[in-house]
Structure 1
């Protein structure tokens, strides 16, 4: 496993396992246990995924020591008010069954963002969170909010794959040593991406599948990735990306696939209001 050093000095596993849209009906538990059994040591969840409890149980029931597993979760924007955020952090810890989270993010950049960030900063000082960061911040949203923070985020988790390579955002984050985490690193199984001729040609050359080529490209670009799957064979193959290296020419060909457009536009009018009213993360608490 490779690690990437964050601007707070901690090292995060370069590849992990995502749990978005995996139900909390035992499916998350089984998928996370499988990922851990295959050697994955980075699990990404969120309050709004409604599966923190199964993630925590899978880690607790595994043969892997807690300190060897990097657990990321995210605060939902309905809890950004300072006092609500403090309670939500403790609730995440309770559901995960741990006394600290390795990384905790502001999931969406709308609402009382500065209050939520203050709560994250204080939880970090108290040892409840090791690293703190943000998610879904475009250049415009980054410039709007981070200038109001007392500390610099360690990561910005955004949509990233060969079709949306976040070049403008990278230019802002690189001098600050803020790392990009990729959600949707395989474009959620986008058949057009997986069947791109250049990707197919590179995959054939190295005896790899399209997903492995894409993940290796992202890894070589310094992006932290956590593909999601409930298929054990796919979970295993997704982490087998460190036994080959793409050439400079191959990297340039994959960079040329960038369209600058993803499946989600955080800057679109009304997105914040829509997400604020999408659901109640405490409906079943």
Structure 2
């Protein structure tokens, strides 16, 4: 190839990348009203601090087995109206998620995909390689949101690499998961770049007010995983009493509805068709102010797993 041809190709590539970056911000977004005004739907989105929008509600695929189980779960979710899927390299099912998304017949631009960099891949060069590898496994053209799975010993250099991956177009937004306030402050102090999202475990039994308040004050969207407490609290008499007020609703619906009414991006996990369908039945009722107030009293620092916001990662 001649020098002139090489220059022409480079200009063309740069133009394509610029167009791709402009499209990054071309997302519709919904404005939320008051907590119980009925405005929330499965199509509601949260506008992130980088100008992109993320669906308020999505499917988590943690511990969904790669292959048929994950593919079926994603396919069912998309059929029922979900437009957000949350995976991670650690889950080993990125390929299955990508296959289901690309085979769905739904425009790629309509589906929001999150994946994560695990701690084994921390460090600048390793993170660059891991982000590109995740995109290759997904096969979806780009990643909508790339998260650092948890803080670790090389958090800053990992974050710097993620910023580079965004600039390259590998992902459209970057954020973190399982970060405490001191971790978030470390990133901002070192780079000046604020994460778009902090994904943490949150429920009425684990409200994380310090982290939530910090995120809301600094324009970081809160994303809550394990909204159903992994089933631990589904028989709580308080939840049973509240659910009884709403015909056809279960304690699981109460927990999910609490999360979305808090405007937390909410990603209940299931690989069962009936539960994936049932979990979206939270947009036709509102928890009233009395019930929301009662749920606020349930805080007991209930962790259903390891808490990286406090305990540093250990290999």
**With structure 1 as the length reference, what TM-score do the two structures score?**
0.91
Residue aligning to 1:217: 258
- Point out where structure 2 has 5 or more consecutive residues left out of the alignment: 1-42
User: 1:1-285, aligned counterparts within 5 Å?
Assistant: 1-190=43-232, 193-207=233-247, 208-263=249-304, 264-266=306-308, 271-273=312-314, 277=315
Contact 2:180 2:310 in 1 (8 A): no
Contact 2:121 2:130 in 1 (8 A): yes
Contact 2:61 2:271 in 1 (8 A): no
Report SS of the residue matched to 1:205.
coil
Deviation per CA, 1:20-39: give whole Å up to 9, x if none: 01111421111111111111
Residue aligning to 1:282: none
Q: Which moved more, 1:235-244 or 1:139-148?
A: 139-148
How far 1:142 moved relative to its partner? Answer: 2.6
Residue aligning to 1:280: none
Contact 2:123 2:158 in 1 (8 A): yes
How far 1:267 moved relative to its partner? Answer: 5.1
Report SS of the residue matched to 1:116.
helix
- Point out where structure 1 has 5 or more consecutive residues left out of the alignment: 278-285
**With structure 2 as the length reference, what TM-score do the two structures score?**
0.83
Name the CA distance, whole Å, in 1 between partners of 2:170 and 2:141: 6
Number of aligned positions between the proteins: 271
How far 1:86 moved relative to its partner? Answer: 1.1
Alpha-carbon spacing, 1:125–1:162, altered in 2? closer, same or farther (3 Å): same
